[in-house]
Amino acid sequence: MKHHINTTLRRIAPQLVILAGVLLLNFLVFPDFFRIEFQHGRLFGNLIDVLNRGAPTALLCIGMTLVIATKGIDLSVGAAMAIAGAVAAALVVDGHSWQVALLGALCAGAVCGAWNGVLVAVLRIQPIVATLVLMVAGRGIAQLVTEGTILTFLNPGLIHLGAGTVAGIPTPILIWLGLGLAVTAIVRKTALGMLIEAIGINESSSRLAGINSRVLIISVYLISGFCAALAGVIVAADIKGADANNAGLWLELDAILAVVIGGNSLLGGRFSIIASLLGALIIQSVNSVILLSGMPPELNLVIKALIIIAILVIQSPTVKHALYILRASADPIPPGSIKEAKESPQ
Amino acid sequence: MIRSTHLPLLITIATFLLAYTLCAWQYPSMLSTRVLANLLTDNAFLGIAAVGMTFVILSGGIDLSIGSVIAFTGVFLAVILRDTSIHPLLAFALILAITISFGASMGAMIHYLEMPPFIVTLAGMFLARGAAYVLSTDSVPITHEFYDTLQSLYWKAPGGGRFRLTGMIMLLTFAAGIIAAHRTRFGQNVYALGGGLQTARLMGVPLAKTTIGIYATSGGLAGLAGIVFSLYTSAGYSLATVGVELDAIAAVVIGGTLLTGGTGFVAGTFFGILIMGLIQTFIVFDGTLSSWWTKIVIGGLLFGFILLQKGLTWATTLRRKPAPEFAAQS
C-alpha cells in the first residue's frame, strides 16, 4: 500500500511542483491569496475560487483522460455541455423538478457520448473526425432546444448545483472531487484502468488478448459525455440560464490542455486522472494570477499557448532522446537513466 | 471508367447540383447571377483558407489555427493602418510574411519535435488569438482610400450580379491550389506524406521541407483569407472568425478529401464551400428557418460524407484483400 502511494506521488510530483509554483506566484502578486474566511455559512477566499471556477474543466478532464488513454480525443464536450445545459433549463422551465432536469441532462450527455463511441468503436472513424460532427452540430441542437434564446430559470434546486454550498463548501467543488475520486477508484481498484491502457498502447493486440475493446471504447466516450453533462449543468446553474452559443465554448481545448499538463501522452496508454485534475487546477491558477496581478486578461491565451509549447518541447520524443544521450555521456553509469528509459513512452 | 478515388468528388458535385436544383425549384430567383456572385463573395475568405486546409488534410495533418490567424491578420491590418501611414500593399506583404513564418514554425515543431499536428496547431490557435487580443480588443474600423478602391472593383454580369475582387481572388487561389496539388513536385510530396510517413521517407520524400511547406502554405493562405476578410468587413476584430477552422475542415470533408490523408482533390473543397454557402443562402431565402439549422445540416452532411468515405475505403479493401476482417481493423 505504501509502495502504491509512493509511485502515485512520484507520478504527480511535476504537476504538484508546477501547481505550488503558480500558487506561490499568486501569493506574491496578492498576499491575501491563501486567506480563507467563513462568512454567511460558506467558505470565501481566492483558493476556494480557484477550486470552484476550475470545476467545469476539472469535470471534463476526468472523461477526457480516459478517452485520450484509449488513443482517442473528444472534441464535442463543449457542445455536449451546451446541450445538457439547454435540456436541464428547458425541463425546469416546463415545470419539472430539478431532479428530473438533472437526470434529463445526464441522459442527453450520455446519448452524446454513446453517439461518439459508436462512431469510433463500431464504424471505426478517427476520433478527431467522429467527435467533430457533434462539435459542429451540437450547438445547433442546443439552440433547437432553447429555441434560440438564453433560457433563464429560477429553480432553487438546480441553481444550488452551480452556486450553492454543502456544509460551507461550494457544490461544484464537491461534485468534481467526488466524481474524480469515484472514477479513479473504479479504474484503479478493478482491471478497467489497465484494460483501457492496453487499448491505447495497441488496440489490435489488446483485442487479440481477449479485451472487448469495442464496449470499453464506447464506455469511455459515454463517461466523457456524462462528465460534460455535469459540467454543462453546473455552468448553466451558475448563470441561472442556458446559453447555447457560449456555454462551454473552447472548454474542450482547456480539458485537453489539462490532460496534457497532467503528463498524459496524447498517443494513448498510461494515464493518471489525479494528474489531469492537478492540470485543470494549474490552468485555473494561471487564470487567477493574470486576474490578480492586474495584467490584461487578453494575455491569458498567449500564456496558455506558451505553456503548451513548453510542455510539447519537454514531452517531445526527440528532446527526451537528446537529454538521455546527454546524461549518458556525462556519466558512464547513470543512475537515473534506467528510470528515465522506463518512463518514456514507447 | 470511374475510379473509386474520383467517386467522392463526383458525389460532391452531384450533391451540389441536386441541392441547387432543389433550391431553384422552390425559389426560382436563386438562379440569378446575383445569388451566384454573392455565393462567391460571402465565402471568399473561407474558400481561401480551405485551400490551405486541403493541403494540410491531404498530408494527414490538421490545422486548428487558421480562424485565429484570420482574426489576427484583420486586427494587425486595422491597427497598422490606423497608427502608421504605410501603404496597405506594404502592410499586406508584411502580414503575409508574418503568417507564412508562423505556419512554417508550426510545421517545424510538428516535424522536429515529432508532436501531433493537432496539439501544435492548438497552441498556434491560442497564440494567434491572444496576439490579436493584445493588439486590440475593440473592433477597429479600416478607413483607407486604397481599401475603397479595392472594394469598388467588380465585374457586373448580366442580371445584376457583381463579381467582386475577393471572389476572384478565391477562384485564383483554387486554380493555383489545383495546379500545385496535381502538377508540382510539392503536391506529389503532399500526397505521398498523406499516404504514409514511413513509406514517404523510404521513397525519398524530403519530409522536413514538405511538412514545413504545407503548414507555411496553410498559414500564408489564412493570412490572405484575413486580408480578404478585412476587405469584406472593413474592420479588424479580435473576436471575429471564431470556429472558421471547423467550417474549413467541414468543407474539405464534404469536398471528398479523406481525413486520413492521401486521397482528395482541391476542386472538391471548392464544391464543399459552395454547398455550405448554398445552405446558408437557402435559409436566408426561406426566412422562417432559424440560423442554427445551418450548423445541424452541415453536421449532418459531414456525417454523411464521412460514412461514404468509410464505405468506399471498406469496399476497396474488401476487393483487394482476401481477409477483410484484418484489413478493416488496421
Per the DSSP assignment, residues forming a β-bridge with A39 are: A42
Please report, as a single letter, which amino acid is at residue A155: N
Cβ-in-10-Å burial (0-12, 13-18, 19+) of B48 comes to buried
pLDDT band at B295 (very low <50, low <70, confident <90, very high): confident
Is pLDDT above 50 for B330?
Answer: no
3-state DSSP helix/strand/coil % of chain A, to nearest 5: 75, 5, 20
Nearest Cα of chain B lies from the Cα of A140 at a distance, in angstroms, of 5
Using DSSP bridges, classify how beta strands A169-170 and A165-166 pair: parallel, antiparallel or unpaired.
Answer: antiparallel
Q: Tell me what the mean pLDDT of segment B295-317 comes to.
A: 80
pLDDT band at B328 (very low <50, low <70, confident <90, very high): very low
User: In this predicted structure, which of A130-134, A245-249, B54-58, B105-109 has the lowest mean pLDDT?
Assistant: A245-249
Nearest Cα of chain A lies from the Cα of B91 at a distance, in angstroms, of 23
Per the DSSP assignment, residues forming a β-bridge with A36 are: A45
Q: Do B115 and A312 touch (CB under 8 A)?
A: yes
Q: Do A316 and B115 touch (CB under 8 A)?
A: yes
Residues of A in contact with B250 (CB under 8 A): 132, 136
Residues of B in contact with A144 (CB under 8 A): 292, 296
Q: Do A132 and B246 touch (CB under 8 A)?
A: yes
Q: Closest chain A residue to B302 measured between Cα atoms?
A: A133
Using DSSP bridges, classify how beta strands A241-242 and B140-141 pair: parallel, antiparallel or unpaired.
Answer: unpaired
Q: Is A301 on the interface with B (CB under 8 A)?
A: yes
Per the DSSP assignment, residues forming a β-bridge with B140 are: B236
Best of A256, A312, A315 to disrupt the B interface (most B CBs within 10 Å) is A312
Q: Name the one residue in this structure whose C-alpha cell is 445551418.
A: B294
Residues of A in contact with B294 (CB under 8 A): 140
Give the Cα separation of A76 and A67 in Å (integer). Answer: 12
Nearest Cα of chain B lies from the Cα of A270 at a distance, in angstroms, of 17
Q: Name the one residue in this structure whose C-alpha cell is 465565402.
A: B43
pLDDT, tens digit only, all 346 positions of chain A: 567 778 888 878 888 888 888 888 888 888 887 778 787 777 788 888 888 889 999 999 999 999 999 988 998 999 999 999 999 999 998 888 889 999 999 999 999 999 999 999 988 888 888 888 888 788 889 988 888 788 888 888 888 888 888 888 889 999 999 999 999 999 989 988 899 999 989 888 888 888 888 999 999 999 999 999 999 999 999 888 888 878 877 788 889 889 988 888 888 888 999 999 999 999 888 888 888 887 777 777 788 788 778 877 776 777 777 877 888 777 655 454 444 444 444 4
Give the Cα separation of A90 and A105 in Å (integer). Answer: 10
Is pLDDT above 80 for B22?
Answer: yes
Give the Cα separation of B296 and A136 in Å (integer). Answer: 7
Please report, as a single letter, which amino acid is at residue B27: Y
Give the Cα separation of A54 and A230 in Å (integer). Answer: 13
Residues of B in contact with A244 (CB under 8 A): 292
Is pLDDT above 70 for B188?
Answer: yes
Q: Which run of H or of E encompasses B209?
A: helix B207-233
pLDDT band at B92 (very low <50, low <70, confident <90, very high): very high
- Per-residue pLDDT tens digits for B249-265: 889 988 888 877 888 89
**Sign of torsion over alpha carbons A256, A262, A263, A268:** negative
Nearest Cα of chain A lies from the Cα of B290 at a distance, in angstroms, of 8
Average pLDDT of chain B is 85
Nearest Cα of chain B lies from the Cα of A104 at a distance, in angstroms, of 21
Residues of B with CB under 8 A from a CB of A: 62, 109, 112-116, 118-120, 122-127, 129-131, 133-134, 137, 246, 249-250, 253, 259-260, 290, 292-296, 298-300, 302-303, 306-307, 310, 328-330
Q: Is A266 on the interface with B (CB under 8 A)?
A: yes
Interface size, chain A vs chain B, as Cβ–Cβ contacts under 8 Å: 127
Nearest Cα of chain B lies from the Cα of A150 at a distance, in angstroms, of 14
What pTM did the predictor assign?
0.82
Residues of B in contact with A301 (CB under 8 A): 126-127, 129-130, 133
Give all domains of chain B, ordered by start, each with its CATH number. 7-329 (1.10.3470)
| Structure confidence at residue A29 (pLDDT) | 82
Distance of CA B78 to the CA centre of its chain: 23
Best of A129, A243, A320 to disrupt the B interface (most B CBs within 10 Å) is A129
Q: Do B113 and A319 touch (CB under 8 A)?
A: yes
Q: Do A136 and B259 touch (CB under 8 A)?
A: no
Nearest Cα of chain A lies from the Cα of B240 at a distance, in angstroms, of 14
Residues of B in contact with A318 (CB under 8 A): 112-114
Q: Do A133 and B118 touch (CB under 8 A)?
A: no
Best of B53, B65, B118, B119 to disrupt the A interface (most A CBs within 10 Å) is B119
| Structure confidence at residue A2 (pLDDT) | 64
- Per-residue pLDDT tens digits for B115-145: 888 888 888 988 898 899 888 888 888 888 8
Best of B102, B280, B306 to disrupt the A interface (most A CBs within 10 Å) is B306
| Structure confidence at residue A254 (pLDDT) | 87
Three-state SS string across B213-224, please?
HHHHHHHHHHHH
Give the Cα separation of B282 and B39 in Å (integer). Answer: 11
- Per-residue pLDDT tens digits for B264-279: 899 999 999 998 888 8
pLDDT band at B3 (very low <50, low <70, confident <90, very high): low
Q: Do B127 and A260 touch (CB under 8 A)?
A: no
User: In this predicted structure, which of A15-24, B15-24, B289-298, B313-322 has the lowest mean pLDDT?
Assistant: B313-322
| Structure confidence at residue A106 (pLDDT) | 95
Closest partner residue to A299 (CB to CB) among B116, B124, B130 is B130
Q: Do A317 and B114 touch (CB under 8 A)?
A: yes
Q: Tell me what the mean pLDDT of segment B222-232 comes to.
A: 93
| Structure confidence at residue A111 (pLDDT) | 95
| Structure confidence at residue A128 (pLDDT) | 82
pLDDT band at B324 (very low <50, low <70, confident <90, very high): very low
Is pLDDT above 70 for B284?
Answer: yes
Q: Do B137 and A129 touch (CB under 8 A)?
A: no
The cell for A331 is 556519466
Q: Is A71 on the interface with B (CB under 8 A)?
A: no
Closest CA to B294 of B234, B246, B232: B246
ipTM beyond cut 0.95: no
